[in-house]
């Protein structure tokens, strides 16, 4: 399988933590790793059929090998979160949905 694309996977705790000294929540950075992959976007008709939403942008990301669980990913400047693992011959296939703007 060709892997012409690169995606950055963020692992670890990325939930903001409360700091009582400053009385605010501080962003926690997770471990980032750039991985080779093959990216395909799902058509809006298929997204609506599978998830019932016309506005979400969903992509399938296929890796050469199975990846450890991750909280989010960055692809071409956009942030994505995992939706589900795909039961396919390729163990490293994951569906990701775009979050934010």
pLDDT tens digits, 18-76: 888 888 888 777 788 999 999 999 999 998 988 888 888 999 998 888 888 888 899 99
**Of residues 25 and 78, more confidently modeled:** 78
Q: What is the pLDDT of residue 34?
A: 94
Domains of the chain, CATH where assigned? 5-99 (2.40.10)
Query: Per-residue pLDDT averaged across 75-86, rounded?
Result: 87
3-state secondary structure of 56: coil
Lowest mean pLDDT among 8-17, 34-43, 72-81, 84-93: 84-93
- What is this structure's pTM? 0.76
CA distance 72 to 53: 20
By CB atoms closer than 10 A (0-12, 13-18, 19+), residue 12 is exposed
Dihedral, CA of residue 61, residue 64, residue 66 and residue 67, to nearest 10: -60
Give the mean pLDDT of 72-82. Answer: 92
28 — phi, psi (to 5°)?
-105, 130
Is the Cβ–Cβ distance between 94 and 37 less than 8 Å? no
Q: pLDDT at residue 78 above 60?
A: yes
For 17-23, the CB contacts below 8 A with 24+ separation are none
Helix (H) or strand (E) holding 47: helix 44-51
């Amino acid at each position: 399988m060709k892997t012409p694309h690169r995606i950055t996977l963020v692992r670890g705790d990325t939930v903001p933590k409360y700091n009582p000294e400053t009385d605010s929540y501080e962003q926690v950075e997770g471990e980032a790793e750039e991985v080779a992959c093959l990216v395909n976007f799902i058509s809006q008709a298929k997204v609506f059929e599978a998830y019932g939403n016309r506005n979400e942008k969903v992509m399938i990301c296929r890796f050469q090998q199975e990846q450890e669980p991750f909280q989010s990913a960055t692809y071409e400047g956009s942030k994505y979160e995992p939706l589900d693992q795909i039961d396919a011959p390729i163990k490293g296939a994951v569906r990701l949905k775009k979050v934010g703007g």
